[in-house]
Amino acid sequence: MTCKQLSVFIENRKGTLSKVLNVLSKSGVSILSMSLADTTEYGLLRLIVNDPDTGKKELSNAGYSSLVSNVLVVKIPHVAGSLQELLEKVEKEDINIEYMYGLSIENDDAYVVFKPSDAEKTSELFEKDGIVTLTPEDLLKMKL
């Protein structure tokens, strides 16, 4: 099962991140997880939020370029080697992980946001192997 991720392209300038987050806050969009990658000129802000479509609309109205894409949020045991085992399964199926980042949730498991080259195939692989992927509804119920 996929979840939606909101990605925002921002200038790498003082105060820009705060302005983007202000737009989301004022529109009632809550951030569940985020990752920011930067270059000298720009940044790419990836967000798991409670309402990605509203976030995209409000950011667009404020002049920011953004997109909504499908990602997998995967539950893995919080023990050494569990992420590596998961990546080996994906690699055996010739699927590329384009990027990933952690999701912080208060419990004994670890959660990782994946953007695989083939989300449907990866989701089917995980389901077959009993690996839990979260739904958007699951995310909203969690204590972050």
Q: What are 59-106's pLDDT values in tens digits?
A: 999 999 999 999 999 988 888 999 999 999 999 999 999 999 987 666
Decide the pairing of beta strands 65-77 and 31-38: unpaired
Region label for 132, one of left (φ > 0), alpha (ψ between -120 and 50) or beta (otherwise): beta
Portions of the chain given CATH number 3.30.2130.10: 3-70, 71-141
The pTM assigned to this predicted structure is: 0.79
Q: What is the pLDDT of residue 104?
A: 67
| DSSP output for 114-143 | EEES-HHHHHHHHHHTT--B--HHHHHHS-
Q: What is the pLDDT of residue 24?
A: 97
CA nearest neighbour of 28 among 3, 53, 7: 53
In this prediction, residue 123 has a pLDDT band, given cuts at 50, 70 and 90, of confident
Whether 144 shows a pLDDT value over 60: the answer reads no
Whether 107 shows a pLDDT value over 70: the answer reads no
Q: What is the pLDDT of residue 69?
A: 95
Asked if 69 contacts 13 with a C-beta cutoff of 8 angstroms, the reply is no
Spell out the CATH class of 3-70. Answer: alpha beta
Architecture of the domain whose range is 71-141? 2-Layer Sandwich (3.30)
Q: What is the pLDDT of residue 84?
A: 95
